[in-house]
A = this chain, B = another copy of it.
Amino acid sequence: MTESTERNVSLALDILHQRFGDRFLTGHSIREQHGHTTTYLKNQPPDAVVMAQSAEDVTWVVQVCAEHRCPVIAFGAGSSLEGQLNAPAGGVSIDMSAMDKILKVDQNDLTVTVQPGVKRVALNEHLRDTGLFFPIDPGADASMGGMASTRASGTNAVRYGTMKDNVLSLKAVMADGREITTASRAKKTSAGYDMTRLLVGAEGTLGVITELTLKLHGLPESIVGGVCNFPDIESVCQATIQTIQYGLPIARIEMLDEVQVRACNAYSKLSLAEKPTLFVEFHGSEASTQEQSETFNEIIQEFGGSDFEWTSNTEERTKLWQARHDAYWAARALRPGCDAVVTDACVPISRLADCVEETLKDIQEHNLLAPIVGHVGDGNFHTAVLIDMDNPDAVNTAKQFAERLSLRAIAMGGTCTGEHGIGQGKKSYLRQELGDTVDFMSMIKSSLDPLNIMNPEKIF
């Protein structure tokens, strides 16, 4: 193949159309659905969507796109929050949702090998009878490929880590069309550069993930969950800080501010006191969860925590955590017809109270409706500013608020994003956070994708 020197998207599209037939789609609504759909960022649809069924399909698409310098954007479940799926330079969206096979559960090695379109709920349903589970649980029912690409985490990360810690090895089609395997299946390795961790969090800018081998964890013998509330936001943060500093191996510790509790009560039919609240969960043996919950109870007493209700009843726990996962929808329901400008920041745990309190003050000063909810054990929290997206002033106000939050987290030694990624929305903050380091990231991008076809205009 000779190489063209300019993007020739339409030629690439013709070739792909011929190859994929009715798996090559250009309808307006399907293209829109494959651009960004979740937040305030403008939808920028790709020129076409290819429904992939195999790694060979992906290789084929990337090779054609490399030949004609056509952008390639992998699509999983469409739940990313920073514009990762938009196509500002046009090009092809490769929809991985049909690549949803669970290829091998290896109970002896506590691993599972999956195609990238497998979603987290389906994976754990499949694992149910094995006594194992996969702990990473972003709010949405995201795909494994997408979760790896944004370095996702969720409520269990405080104990089980993020995608960075739970991907053992990947297969990916790189920009030249070659499929590579990033690592062996050994639990530890010192064999060369950590290509697994480089692709995890690369947001599709270096390659398209075509297979993942993930670490699994044993379902705990005992799971105990509970809810408690606090007189104010500082107390809830301080109780969290103390829990982490104590070294309690808590499995989940989620904060909801008063507004978010009100939203969840209404949306998920709960009847929690409308106060700053923690949802917590302990995993271990019966004796260990008992011990952990007693220690936690002692800690929260110091900070005025009250109404502590425990349960090991599965149904009650499920209802609680479903409410937590629906927090985003509950927030939106607070102002019907509104949209949400969602943002995410993460600070060292010692600065959690400072960062949340200043953010709350900011919300009040600017008269915003913006519930706060967070994976506070990791120093990570989210806000959803509820606005009318047709009102440019409101959008602007919300964006300025998100910017102040990013810069506040950075100034406290934290990051502008704990788990959503940079995408289009946070490019300028990345530079503020890491300075010249971004130049070296950019050199890696240029060397592995010299034609800039892999999800261009993201991160950088």
A→B interface (CB under 8 Å): 106-111, 150-153, 157, 161-162, 164-165, 174, 178, 180-195, 197-198, 200-202, 217-218, 241, 244-247, 284-285, 287-288, 291, 346-350, 375, 378-380, 409-410, 413-422, 426, 429-430, 433-441, 443-448, 459
The CA of A150 and the CA of B152, in the complex, are separated in Å by 27
Known: A184-B413, A185-B348, A436-B178. Is A421-B108 also a contact (CB below 8 A)? no
A437 / chain B contacts, CB cutoff of 8 Å:
180-182, 192, 195
Known: A217-B247, A241-B108, A413-B184. Is A194-B200 also a contact (CB below 8 A)? yes
Residue contact B441 to A447, C-beta cutoff 8 Å: no
A346 / chain B contacts, CB cutoff of 8 Å:
186-189
A68 CB to nearest B CB, Å: 22
Could you give 27 example pairs across A and B, Cβ below 8 Å? A107-B245, A108-B245, A108-B348, A109-B348, A110-B245, A164-B194, A165-B165, A178-B436, A180-B436, A184-B433, A184-B434, A185-B413, A186-B380, A187-B378, A189-B418, A191-B417, A191-B426, A191-B429, A191-B433, A192-B437, A194-B197, A194-B201, A197-B198, A198-B198, A217-B247, A285-B288, A287-B287
The CA of A244 and the CA of B108, in the complex, are separated in Å by 9
Known: A174-B440, A348-B185, A443-B448. Is A435-B180 also a contact (CB below 8 A)? yes
A347 / chain B contacts, CB cutoff of 8 Å:
186
Known: A190-B421, A285-B291, A417-B190. Is A434-B110 also a contact (CB below 8 A)? no
Closest B residue to A157 by beta carbon equals B188
Max chain B C-beta neighbours (<10 A), residue from A108, A157, A161, A194: A194
The CA of A436 and the CA of B171, in the complex, are separated in Å by 12
Residue contact A438 to B186, C-beta cutoff 8 Å: no
A422 / chain B contacts, CB cutoff of 8 Å:
190-192
